[in-house]
Amino acid sequence: MDLIWLLPAASAVVDWYAVARGDRRTEAWAKPATLVALVVVALVLGGADTSAGLWLLLALVLGLVGDVFLLGDTDTRFRLGLAAFLLGHLAFVVSFARLGLDPPDWQWAAWVVLFGCLIATRRVVPATFLRGGQALALPLAIYTVVIGAMVILAFDTGEPLIAIGATVFAVSDSVLAVDRFVRPRPWAPVAVMVTYHLGQALIVAGVLA
C-alpha cells in the first residue's frame, strides 16, 4: 500500500522541475496528474468507505479543477480557479468535521499560522482591488476567510498530519497571492507547487490514517 504514494510523488517532482525550467507543456500534464494520482491514493486507501473520505475526495477533485484553471494566466481563469479551491476548502472543512473534532492543547498554533499568513498577505487585497476592483478583491477576501476556517478545523481534529498539511497549504496560497499581486519572486512558482503538493498529500495521509 505504501508504494501507491510513489505515483503522486513522481508526478509532483516532474511538475516541480517543469515549473523551475518554465516548461509549460510538461507542467500542463504533470500538474493535474499529481492531483489525479492523489485521488487514486485516496481511493486505494479506502477514501470512499467513510463520509470523511468522500468529502476528502471531493476536495481533491475540486483542487484538480482549480489546477486546470490556474494553468492559464488571465484574471478570469484565476477567479474560476479561486472558486474551485474555495469549494475545495469547504469540502476539507466538512471532511475534518466528519472525522470528529477533539481540539488538542496545541490548537492555539492555528491562530499563530493564520496571523503569520495575514501579515504576509496584508497587501494582497488592496492590490487586487486596484487591479480588478471589487470583482477580484471580494472573492479573494472570501477565500481568505474560508482557508482560515479550514486551518482552524484542521487543528481541531487533533491529527498532526492534517494540521501540518493545512499549514503548508496556507503557506502555498500566501506565497501565490503575494507573487501574483504584490511582488513577483523568481523562486515563488516552485515554492508554491512544492508546498501545495506536500500540503495536499499530508492532509490525505492524515484523514485516512
User: The domain containing residue 46 runs over which residues?
Assistant: 2-207
What are the residues whose beta carbons fall under 8 Å from the beta carbon of 127, sequence distance 6 or more? 181, 182
> How far is 122 from 76, CA to CA, in rounded Å?
23
First vs last C-alpha separation in the chain: 12
Grid coordinates representing 10 are: 513522481
How many domains are there within the chain?
1
Q: What is the pLDDT of residue 1?
A: 62
Give percent above pLDDT 90 in the chain.
75
Check whether 65 has a pLDDT greater than 90. yes
- Around 189, how many Cα atoms within 13 Å sit in the side-chain half-sphere? 17
Tell the residue number behind the cell numbers 487514486, with chain if given: 40
> How far is 29 from 33, CA to CA, in rounded Å?
6
For residue range 22-42, what is the model confidence (pLDDT) as tens digits? 999 999 999 999 999 999 999
Check whether 71 has a pLDDT greater than 70. yes
Q: What is the pLDDT of residue 102?
A: 86
For residue range 131-163, what is the model confidence (pLDDT) as tens digits? 777 777 888 888 889 999 999 999 999 999 999
pTM, full prediction: 0.92
> How far is 172 from 198, CA to CA, in rounded Å?
10
